[in-house]
Structure formats: C-alpha cells, structure tokens
A = this chain, B = another copy of it.
Amino acid sequence: VNTRGKHPDLIVQQQHPFNAEPTLTQLLQAPTTPNDLFFARNHAPVPAVDVDSYRLSVTGLVEKPLELSLDDVYRLPKTTVTATLQCAGNRRKAVFAYKHVVGEVPWGDQAISNAVWGGVRLSAVLERAGVLEGAQHVACLGLDELGQGDKRFNFGGSIPLKKARCEEVLLAYEMNGAPLLPLHGFPLRLVAPGYIGARSVKWLVQICVQQTPSSNHYQARAYKLFAPHIDAKTVDWDKGLMLGEMSVNSSICVPEEGETLASGKLEIKGYAITGGDRTVERVEVSLDGGLRWVEARLSRVEPFAWCFWTVRLDLEPGTHCVVARAWDSAANTQPEDLAKIWNFKGYMNNAWPRVAFDVGPAVRADKRPG
C-alpha cells in the first residue's frame, strides 16, 4: 500500500485499498487541510505511473483529439482553486447507528478535507480540442483498475459539460503547493469543486466528451441516491439520483460525543459546506432540539470550500445535547431527522448533527492553566 506522505494517526477504515480519514481534532486544525491529513478514498490499489510514457487522451465529441504528455499539461497556464472534497459517504457512521448499511465504509464526519489545488483549467484543454455540437457531458477515466480477469475496468465518472467549462474545474497536479501524492492521484487529478468527491477522478488518463453521462460503474450504479423505501433487494439500478452537486451539510467536531467539558464559557465548533457554486450562509446550533437557535460565527466564506464555525456558550453542569444546521445561499437547509432520510447506500447524510456531552463543575480560576 502506497501511503507515503500520510500521517500515522489517520483513522484507517480499510487498508486494501487504502481508505482513511483524519481525527476530528486533526480535521479542525486548519481550514486548509495539510496533505498528510487529507482524507483518502480509494476503490483500488494506487496504480504505478510511468511519467515519461504517460499521456492524457482527450477524445469523443471533439474536433481535434489530443494526447497530452505531462510537459504539455505543465506548459498550459497554471491556476489555483481552493476546494473542499467530500465523500458522498461522509457521516455514514451516524447512518449505521440508526440502521446498518451493508458493505460500505463506515466514515465518521471526516471523509472531507480542503486544499488549494494547482493545475490547469479543464476548459482550456476542452477549448484546444474543440467541443462539437451535441456534447453534454465530460467523462473521466482513472488508471486505477477494478474487477478481475475479463471484467477488469478503470474507475470513472462524469460531470456535465456546463460544469466542465467553469473556471473552477481543474486538471490538478499540485495540492497545497506540493506535487500530488500518489495516493491522491499523481500525476493528474480532475478537481470538480462543489461535486461529490467521486467525480474528482484520480490518476486521470482519459477525458471523453460525450452526449450522455459516463456509463462507468461508479457513475451509472454506485454513487446513486435512492429513496428510503428502496433496499438492496428491491433496487432498480437504472433509477436513483446520479449524485453530482453536494447538498448543504454540517458537522459538530467539538465537543465529541460523550466528552466532559468544564463549565463556564465553552466552545462548540465544526464545519459547514454546500454544493454547486452556492455558499454557506449561516450555521445555527440549538440545545433544545431545534426550538431556539444560536447563530455561529463563521470563518471566511467562499464558494467550493467549507467554512469553520464556532459558538461560545455558558452552560450549566449536566448533560446537554447540541444539534446544528447550516443554510446556504439558495435558502436550503439540512433535514432534521436521519431516520427520515435514511438510504440503503448511506449516501449524503446531511441530517442535523447531534452530539451529547457533559458539563462538569467549573474549574476554579486559580486552577486554570496560564
């Protein structure tokens, strides 16, 4: 397993392939996640890439198909975009707690991270190739291989052409100023800000401009949202929502479930995110199940990136249960009750986060550090 450059304290959900998330504490250390703490979501082993023979092919509904070497890519104008990637299965552990989900990675609230991506605009590459009439989607293929024998295939997915032409969509070769780690898609990764992480295809080897969404397993079957009454036995894989833009979501990271805090002024903290090019508008917390709300202070708000939020409260000793919710610029907010949005793949859990914690007796002033 190539986990070079990753922090040893990551919570490893799976070794083969490597799936890991930072701890809640690590996650909140900085709005830009250090590369060694960035969550890793993989469906197959990290592929070996020979940088000299590597070519990115641009094909399909284009005037002039391209075969780009890495040097060809590096010669295009470089730009950077701050974007948060979030796995569609983020916050699935809470889904499990309500009703078990079979065969899926039990992510905590940390299958999400934020980085400054450096690379070239996908739109620049599409312009060079010349998109033809009738094109509607841009399908991407990675070098990572799944399946066995005759049924081997590469990971893939697609985004609408309209999105692909937006300036925030990159072919990234840098993450926070450093070359992409092999685990994160070296030498080239699509970064589709505002979309579920799976659409940011790693080890990118082919871009195909086409009329329909990708027929790849991970676009056509996996990463689909089904209604609560559908399960593995009744599912019709041709139906369901092909996940794309993210919904509005938030998490409470401090305190953690069951933690005991000293009474007096204490801080409740977390992150909030939304999808498309929408922005987080407001985050609120409630200590009475949603009847009264307190507005949180937000860190810098911008499209494509999460924001961190903080509420300072004075609480009496005892057990408290805090819930949170975010609102976005389209006036969407989170659904209250996980039980009512449960789905058998455990995707897109954006129900209000809930954390129960204890407040102990006050720490005497002379006992407080510093």
Contacts and interface: CB of A to CB of B under 8 A. Distances in A.
A178 interface: no
Nearest to A166: B162
A336 B336 contact: yes
A335 interface: yes
A152 interface: no
Nearest to A245: B330
Given A241-B282, A293-B229, A339-B291, A247 B332 contact: yes
A84 B327 CA distance: 23
Nearest to A339: B291
A336 B333 contact: no
A204 to B, nearest CB: 24
Given A225-B327, A247-B332, A331-B348, 17 more contacts: A225-B331, A227-B282, A227-B284, A228-B293, A229-B293, A241-B331, A244-B329, A244-B330, A245-B329, A245-B330, A246-B331, A276-B278, A330-B332, A331-B350, A332-B332, A335-B336, A336-B336
Given A227-B293, A245-B278, A284-B227, A336 B340 contact: yes
Contacts of A277: 162
A302 interface: no
Interface string A8-42: 00000000000000000000000000000000000
Nearest to A242: B329
A138 interface: no
Contact of A330 (B275, B333, B336): B275
22 contacts: A162-B277, A225-B281, A225-B327, A225-B331, A229-B294, A229-B295, A241-B282, A241-B327, A241-B331, A244-B329, A245-B278, A275-B331, A276-B276, A291-B339, A291-B340, A330-B332, A331-B347, A331-B348, A332-B332, A333-B335, A333-B341, A336-B337
A276 B330 contact: yes
Nearest to A229: B293
A65 interface: no
A332 B241 contact: no
A248 interface: yes
Nearest to A327: B241
B290 A337 contact: yes
A324 interface: no
Interface in A238-290: 241, 243-248, 275-278, 281-282, 284, 290
Interface in A309-339: 327, 329-337, 339
A276 B336 CA distance: 23
Closest 3 interchain pairs by CB? A245-B330, A247-B331, A331-B348
A132 B241 CA distance: 40
A368 interface: no
